Amino acid sequence: MGMVDITEKPVVRRLAEAAGKIILSPGTLLRIKKGQIKKGDPLLVAEIAAMNTAKQTHVLIPHCHQIPLDTVKVSFGVFDEYIEVACLVRAQARTGVEMEALVGVSAALNTVWDMVKYLEKDDKGQYPKTRITDIRVIRKEKGN
């Protein structure tokens, strides 16, 4: 088997954007908005996590090719019941960058969870309402 041989494919512009949500308690979301999270700003740290992991996708997912990325842009929407994260990745490559966008979103969402988990736990140490959901590719472009 092995990796797919992309030697003969032309190098073209590639873009992929993925998104996902983390459902959090209203109290946690309010603290995020007010800058009251013990570990710092979860959105800033999540942005860095998304950029770093998108660039390392080939290390994390065995059949992914190593792709030099031209850009990774991360955006956040903070709503009453959840945070939505979007990760846009662009490259000039022989293969698509949708896995890089998906990995970036996943890392960002997990980073937010890690930074607020002390607020989300119930009295038994469980997370009854916290959920990561709706991770998907929302846009993919190839060519000019």
What is the total count of domains within the chain? 1
pLDDT value of residue 132? 98
The one catalytic residue in 70, 80, 114, 122 is 114
Active site residue 114: yes
Residue numbers of the domain that contains 105: 12-142
In the predicted structure, residue 134 carries a pLDDT above the cut 80: yes
Q: What is the mean pLDDT of the chain?
A: 96
* Domain CATH for 53: 3.30.70.640
Angle 106-110-113 from CA coordinates, rounded to 5°? 145
Please indicate, yes or no, if residue 57 is contained in any of the structural domains: yes
Indicate the residue type of 140: K
What integer is the mean pLDDT of 42-46?
Answer: 98
Prediction pTM value = 0.95
Rounded to an integer, what distance in angstroms lies between the CA atom of residue 117 and that of residue 121?
A: 6
- 1: pLDDT confidence band, cut at 50, 70 and 90? confident
What's CA 38's distance to the chain center, in Å?
22
Please indicate, yes or no, if residue 3 is contained in any of the structural domains: no
Higher pLDDT, 18 or 143: 18
Residues 133, 83 contacting (CB under 8 angstroms): no
